[in-house]
A and B are shown apart, each in its own frame.
Chain A
Amino acid sequence: MIEVKNLTKTYGSITAVDDVSFQVATGQAAGFLGPNGAGKTTTMRIITGFMPATAGTVKVDGFDVFEDSFEVRKRIGYLPETPPLYLEMTVRSYLRHVGKLKAIARTAVAGAADRVIEECGLEQVAGRLCGHLSKGYRQRVGLAQALIHEPAVLILDEPTIGLDPAQIIEIRSLIRRLTTDRTVILSTHILPEVQQICAKVVIINGGHIALEADIAELVRERSLEEEYLRHVSGDAGLAGPQAAGRATSSEGDAAHA
């Protein structure tokens, strides 16, 4: 269970996240949507304990990310926007290294690495250097490192960005398989992805939560795309004329369709 309460993060005079609150129930997958620069990555980085919040609290399975940071870190698997690979290491030795950092018992590290290699379909490349892998495989290794300590919570920051369509489908089905019994926050720009994987959607715009809803209820009246555009272009004044223009033209497209 993830509880984000009144979360605020400022960088100097810029407020990246402003009084954000939402919840993700245990075992639930939530899609985290919003335009670029809306505060998605900042929010996720705070949830994972990478950076502290300016104000507000985040609890993961009842543990405060700031007070009980290590308890939270042991429970969270995190895939940042760029997979955190050491390019000069082989996939297998990299995953073993991550296993050690994630406090897996000494004798279990090799087994855990082999398990995620199999789960993420990395058998073919286990002996190759991370730096020599294609983007799709790097993303898989990124997923593997997030899963190695069998975390109950998974935070995925745009896992399908920059992949070709075939790779996107592969990664997406992999994510779907791996997220069945985990609490997940998945940020993405691909709306059908959210519908396929997640039961819930949280839309953030300009640092504020614009929408928090169950997808099944939400899409009864409108498509997810329409809902997204409605909430993201809602405060066009904040987002600037460029975003407003883009939203209008997309709405036009939708109307045309």
Chain B
Amino acid sequence: MRNVMAIAWRDIRSVFVSPIAYVVLTGFTLLAGWFFFNMLGQFNRLVAQYSMLQGMDTTWLNLNDAVITPLLGNLLVVLLIVIPMITMRSFAEEKSSSTFELLFTSPVRVGEMVLGKYLASAFLVTAMIAIALVFPAILFVYGNPEVGITMAGFLGLYLTALTFVAAGNFTSALTSNQIIATISAMVILLLLFVIGWPAEGAGEPIKSILVYLSVTEHFQSMIKGVLDTRDLVYFASVSVVFLFLTHRAVESARWK
């Protein structure tokens, strides 16, 4: 455990002493703020328009459906692009420099390296999502969105992001080239996004399998405020699979 923390702490510090962390956090906050501003503006226009019409059912027009849900969807797309860039360094950078030799000639287990690297990337992603919580906080001050749905939605975003981190670390462990690591991580994440597309026309059991594998399916159900163990199990198991694959990839790098 001490080695895990040593490796994680070093990686976190390295990101925060360089401009990387600040560029990522600023860019993410800027984009999230722009989404939020525009969705809220649109919501206000709709409320103003519908309030002039008498007797219309406007219960569908609420902050959760009109602002928070689309905001979470957009943030997920941003994370899909940003997370591969956060995780690309984790192993690829060490492999391209001699620090990989330092790690492997020190009494450190491969599992400890994998966990340490994962925690370091997860830390930055946690900071990003913590900052994004400021937007629902604003809504709670000036309006009354549903607490449960909002929290479930953000939890869904967070768990999806952590799964992306595990996948990104895996591609970084496969190569010493950071560009290859980034692009292959993006491909994997996009595939997880769209793998459910052919499900509609497919027969069982392919249909259920595709739906189960699709990250969007589980994300959508959490955005609706449904806290289902099946979704939690999905995120946990996909993360564990990627961490395991990372372990194998790092281990095999020595045998080549």
Query: Within 8 Å CB of A100, what residues of B?
Result: 2-3, 6
**How far apart sit A101 and B103, CA to CA, in the bound complex (Å)?**
8
Report B125 CB to chain A, min CB distance, Å: 20
Query: Within 8 Å CB of A80, what residues of B?
Result: 98, 101-102
Query: Within 8 Å CB of B105, what residues of A?
Result: 48-50, 73, 76, 78
B99: nearest chain-A partner, CB-CB: A84
Query: Within 8 Å CB of B197, what residues of A?
Result: none
Interface size on B, residues (CB 8 A): 24
Is B58 located at the chain interface by the 8 A CB criterion?
A: no
Task: Decide: B3 and A51 in contact? CB cutoff 8 A.
Answer: no
Known: A11-B256, A86-B99. A49 touches B104 (CB 8 A): yes
**How far apart sit A106 and B5, CA to CA, in the bound complex (Å)?**
12
Query: Within 8 Å CB of A102, what residues of B?
Result: 106-107
Report A161 CB to chain B, min CB distance, Å: 13
Q: Mark A94-122, 1 if CB is under 8 A from B, else 0.
A: 00011011110010000000000000000
**How far apart sit A106 and B1, CA to CA, in the bound complex (Å)?**
13
Report A30 CB to chain B, min CB distance, Å: 19
Is A251 located at the chain interface by the 8 A CB criterion?
A: no
Is B18 located at the chain interface by the 8 A CB criterion?
A: yes
**How far apart sit A101 and B107, CA to CA, in the bound complex (Å)?**
7
| B14, B18, B99 pick with most chain A CB within 10 angstroms | B99
Known: A100-B3, A145-B102. A89 touches B14 (CB 8 A): yes
| A78, A100, A103 pick with most chain B CB within 10 angstroms | A100
Query: Within 8 Å CB of A11, what residues of B?
Result: 256
Which residues of A (59-98) have their CB < 8 Å from a CB of B? Answer: 70, 73-74, 76, 78, 80-86, 88-89, 93, 97-98
What are 19 of the A-B contact pairs (CB < 8 Å)?
A: A45-B101, A48-B101, A48-B105, A50-B105, A51-B104, A51-B254, A70-B107, A73-B107, A74-B107, A80-B101, A84-B99, A85-B99, A86-B10, A86-B14, A98-B102, A98-B106, A101-B7, A101-B108, A102-B106
